[in-house]
Amino acid sequence: MRTRSEEKRREIVRVAAKAFEELGYDRTPMLTIAERMKGSKQTLYNYFPSKEDLLRAVLGQQVAEMSETTLTAFMAEAETDLRRALIRGGRDFLNHNLSPSMMAMVRNTANQPAGSRIGAEFYEQAVDPAWRRFAQCLEALMDSGILRRADPWLASRQFKALNQLDLYERRLLGADAAVDAREIEAAAESAADAFLRIYGAEARAPT
């Protein structure tokens, strides 16, 4: 069970994420977050010594929660219906990555001054480990013969690329205000089918 301190920390992160999304990171002082929490700035600083630390926590929590939920559901379904599991995983990944909150967080991170380590730390501590865990899931499926033997890390990155298509760039650069759910479903289905052609148990390994 989570302690009161852990619950408080999660609440701060949740409120900060909403504030960063609505106002932008640079335009959100710690005082604003404290006011939305109906608390004091000192309480906020007891949990997060700086706004940068709070941004790191927001980024890390969003990725960790999504990856844990998605990977659990993926492995529960993969052994009985791998295509459906891949489609679900792709859909969940796209819905999360293309969401307004995640887009806002990526823009906030990319907007940090030169020399800032926030973006690199976000990748090293949240994004990369999440995809490493997915690679471990793929390796387990390879071990059981459901997928053909290959480099699981490369397979995980290719799965990501197959799903993203141009959807990510369109959302990030503002070409699309939102992505239609039918387009996300179509992208997830085509990615699953392409992935299975490459890595399905019947797929021939390249010579």
Rounded to 5°, the CA angle 71-199-75 comes to 20
> What is the average per-residue pLDDT within 155-170?
95
Domain contains 2: yes
106 and 176 within one domain: yes
- pLDDT (tens digit per residue) in 10-51: 899 889 888 888 888 888 999 999 999 888 889 899 999 988
64 and 39 within one domain: no
Q: What spatial distance separates the first Cα and last Cα of the chain, rounded to whole Å?
A: 51
> What is the average per-residue pLDDT within 64-75?
87
Confidence of residue 78 (pLDDT cuts 50, 70, 90): very high
**Beta carbons of 162 and 194 less than 8 angstroms apart:** yes
- Environment class of 41 (CB within 10 Å of its CB; exposed 0-12, middle 13-18, buried 19+): middle
121 and 63 within one domain: yes
117 and 172 within one domain: yes
pTM across the whole model: 0.80
% of residues, the chain, pLDDT over 90: 51
Domain contains 18: yes
Domain contains 207: no
Query: Which of 43, 99, 37, 41 shows the shortest CA–CA distance to 66?
Result: 99
Domain contains 204: no
- Asked if residue 202 has pLDDT above 70, the reply is yes
Domains held by the chain: number: 2
- Asked if residue 113 has pLDDT above 60, the reply is yes
> What is the average per-residue pLDDT within 113-139?
89
